Chains A and B, each alone.
Chain A
Amino acid sequence: MDAIEVNHLHRVYRAVIGVIRRSIKEVVAVGDISFAVGQGELFGLLGPNGAGKTTTVKMLTTLLIPTSGDARVGGFDVVKQANEVRKRIGFIFGGERGLYWRLSGNDNLRYFASLYGVDPDISKKRIPALLEMVGLTGRGNEKVGGYSRGMKQRLHVARTLLHDPDILFLDEPTIGLDPVGAREFRQVILDLQSQKKTILLTTHYMFEADMLCNRIAVINQGGVIALDTPSGLKKHVSDLSVVEVETFGAASEAIEKVRALSFVDSVSIEEHDQRQLLMVQTQRGAEAVPEVLAALDGQRLGRVVVREPTLEDAYVRLVGGNA
């Protein structure tokens, strides 16, 4: 039996618009999604903003009712057997909210342990062990309001493990964390996987998905557009190379010129303060460099590198090319 089974899940949001002339606008958040996650698997759900990742996670964690389709988590239906699902899952949504800031870390954990029906004798032992696991030993008596963002995220992990769930949903858990905090957090995720927990992870960080996930589903516009292992997904771009060009305030017209080159598959841009990194996907490899540089003539340029494609390049190609 799979830990998570999703069959043609569909979810529509309805919003009332207008003040005097009111009308209902329907937005399809999840069009038709199906996938399965095996026991003990670390499964990634990738997609651009608005692709339907969080909506899917919220349906699987019983927080939203699907418009149609069905899903089973731990063998139980997420609508008809929501309470059985809740006993077996833990979830973290990215960000700092969801904790009581005026309470200490210990009190937050004691509170949620009680809500999960954990015996007080067990929670007395488990809370210090979980605080140690997430690196918060000695900080449990401090008010959560004084915690850093990374500490709050780690407290969320401890909270979600209080009832020792088999299945975890982590929705962009490293968002907003500094590089050290994010690295520590990824180690926590790997530790959880080594304990045979089934984990569904959503993230915007491709290297994170590449490093952690056994399999990845890429969703876009409410549907699954690819589902494979990270190396399998990279095969989508095995015919490509990436020309990386460092620019300093490159004009958008110049970037459009690069995009317009016949041999360019796509161009994505990473912004770093005054500097941009243009990533040009092409089948020509190093031979493309002179023409790319010619298109950027007159712009202030830094280093130029030709490299093999990564999962991010595969993702960019899958979700529609130019980002």
Chain B
Amino acid sequence: MNILNLFRYWRTVLTVGQITLTNLMNDGFILFAVFFQPMIIALLALFMLKDKGADYGLFVVVGSGLTGLWSSLLFISGNSINDERWNGTLESLVAVPIPFEVIVFGKNLAHVAQSILSMLVAYVLAALFFGYSLTLSQPFLFVISLALTVFAFVSFGLLIAPIFVMYRSVQQWQNAMEFPVYILAGFLFPILLLPDWTTPLSYILPPYWAAVALHGTSTTTLPLNGILFAWAMMILLSVIDLVVASRLFTYMLYKVRVDATLEME
């Protein structure tokens, strides 16, 4: 892949991302997943933890924002290819010279970027209605963690979308996959509260390391080497996701053209 192609792909990612955001603005489900659901979770958690101090307020803000990110990734990015099929646009996207995974990457970037608004919603709730004074302990490191979180979530979305297309039995578990990740990734409660056997499961989930990095840089709980380790894990898992996703996309695009499943059956 040469530099010119990379530039062209990046330009496509940005255009796809921008137009996907415009397209999503009128979608009622997106409003629920990005605004209302995190708001409800944040309200519940803030009531439960209201006597625990400002750090817990921030923990809830970041954690409920992560729930919005995960829901968006699971339902919107996970379904992004199937949505195109239902919309009748999948054939048009497969028959363009730009690799299909570049298009899906741009769409996922828009989904994840939009769901960062969940965090902002929770922040406004905590600051305005509960009176928390919310100051990030390491703002610079927090911003880097947030950027890596976006990258890790977009890459993870690229992995699950073709799986949902090819293996419908996996997609049937989509709803059941939402809350366990909230818990396993430690969005709202430390995973130390969970049984030991669940810990390896948490470690292989990019959302867990995102939660570690974001919680660790918004409050003062995590030393620098812990933050760096979480970043490294996010990058490692993202690279693995991208490599596996690339293979999956190649196989999926061959299979749908053999099975004639680009259109709705």
Interface residues of A (CB under 8 A from B): 13-14, 58, 61-65, 83, 86-87, 89, 91, 93, 95, 97-100, 102-103, 107, 110-112, 114-117, 120, 159
The closest CB in chain A to the CB of B26 belongs to A102
Knowing A107-B19, A110-B15, A114-B15, the reply to whether A61 touches B95 (Cβ < 8 A) is yes
Is B225 part of the contact surface with A, judged by Cβ < 8 Å?
no
The closest CB in chain A to the CB of B94 belongs to A63
| Contact, CB under 8 Å: A98 / B262 | no
Which residues of B156-208 are within 8 A (CB) of A?
none
With a cutoff of 8 Å between Cβ atoms, the chain A residues found around residue B88 in the complex are 95, 97-98
Task: Write 29 A-B pairs (CB below 8 A) sorted by A numbering.
Answer: A58-B260, A62-B95, A63-B91, A63-B94, A63-B257, A64-B257, A83-B97, A95-B88, A97-B88, A97-B89, A98-B88, A98-B91, A99-B89, A100-B87, A102-B23, A102-B25, A102-B26, A102-B27, A110-B15, A111-B16, A114-B11, A114-B16, A115-B16, A115-B98, A117-B12, A117-B97, A120-B11, A120-B15, A159-B92
| Contact, CB under 8 Å: B89 / A98 | yes
The closest CB in chain B to the CB of A87 belongs to B97
Is B252 part of the contact surface with A, judged by Cβ < 8 Å?
no
Is B135 part of the contact surface with A, judged by Cβ < 8 Å?
no
Q: Indicate with 1 or 0, residue by residue over B93-110, a CB within 8 angstroms of chain A CB atoms.
A: 111111000010000000
Rounded to whole Å, the gap between the CB of A136 and the closest CB of chain B is: 18
Rounded to whole Å, the gap between the CB of B171 and the closest CB of chain A is: 18
- Expressed in whole angstroms, the Cα–Cα distance for A14 and B259 within the complex equals 7
- Expressed in whole angstroms, the Cα–Cα distance for A112 and B88 within the complex equals 14
- Expressed in whole angstroms, the Cα–Cα distance for A64 and B260 within the complex equals 6
| Contact, CB under 8 Å: A110 / B19 | yes
Q: How large is the interface on B (under 10, 10 to 19, 20 to 34, 35 or more residues)?
A: 20 to 34
* Chain A at the B interface: SS class: mixed
Other 18 A-B pairs with CB < 8 A, given A63-B95, A110-B15, A114-B11:
A62-B94, A62-B257, A63-B91, A65-B257, A97-B87, A97-B89, A100-B19, A100-B23, A100-B87, A103-B23, A107-B19, A107-B22, A111-B15, A111-B19, A114-B16, A115-B16, A117-B8, A120-B15
- Expressed in whole angstroms, the Cα–Cα distance for A117 and B9 within the complex equals 8
Q: Indicate with 1 or 0, residue by residue over B1-40, a CB within 8 angstroms of chain A CB atoms.
A: 0000000100110011001001101110000000000000
Knowing A13-B260, A98-B88, the reply to whether A114 touches B95 (Cβ < 8 A) is no
| Contact, CB under 8 Å: B91 / A116 | no
- Expressed in whole angstroms, the Cα–Cα distance for A110 and B257 within the complex equals 27
- Expressed in whole angstroms, the Cα–Cα distance for A58 and B11 within the complex equals 29
- Expressed in whole angstroms, the Cα–Cα distance for A95 and B88 within the complex equals 10
| Contact, CB under 8 Å: A91 / B19 | no
* Max chain A C-beta neighbours (<10 A), residue from B19, B22, B95, B258: B95
Rounded to whole Å, the gap between the CB of B260 and the closest CB of chain A is: 6
With a cutoff of 8 Å between Cβ atoms, the chain A residues found around residue B94 in the complex are 62-63
Is B254 part of the contact surface with A, judged by Cβ < 8 Å?
yes
- Expressed in whole angstroms, the Cα–Cα distance for A97 and B89 within the complex equals 7
With a cutoff of 8 Å between Cβ atoms, the chain A residues found around residue B103 in the complex are 115
- Expressed in whole angstroms, the Cα–Cα distance for A107 and B24 within the complex equals 13
- Expressed in whole angstroms, the Cα–Cα distance for A117 and B15 within the complex equals 11
| Contact, CB under 8 Å: A86 / B96 | yes
| Contact, CB under 8 Å: A100 / B11 | no
| Contact, CB under 8 Å: B23 / A116 | no
Q: Indicate with 1 or 0, residue by residue over B54-95, a CB within 8 angstroms of chain A CB atoms.
A: 000000000000000000000000000000000111011111
With a cutoff of 8 Å between Cβ atoms, the chain A residues found around residue B254 in the complex are 65
The closest CB in chain B to the CB of A84 belongs to B97
Rounded to whole Å, the gap between the CB of A268 and the closest CB of chain B is: 31
The closest CB in chain B to the CB of A29 belongs to B260
- Expressed in whole angstroms, the Cα–Cα distance for A58 and B263 within the complex equals 11
Rounded to whole Å, the gap between the CB of B107 and the closest CB of chain A is: 11
- Expressed in whole angstroms, the Cα–Cα distance for A86 and B91 within the complex equals 12
Contact of B262 among A63, A112, A117, A159 (CB under 8 A): A63
- Expressed in whole angstroms, the Cα–Cα distance for A127 and B89 within the complex equals 20
- Expressed in whole angstroms, the Cα–Cα distance for A82 and B101 within the complex equals 16
| Contact, CB under 8 Å: B98 / A117 | yes
Rounded to whole Å, the gap between the CB of A115 and the closest CB of chain B is: 4
Knowing A86-B96, A116-B96, the reply to whether A93 touches B15 (Cβ < 8 A) is no
The closest CB in chain B to the CB of A79 belongs to B257
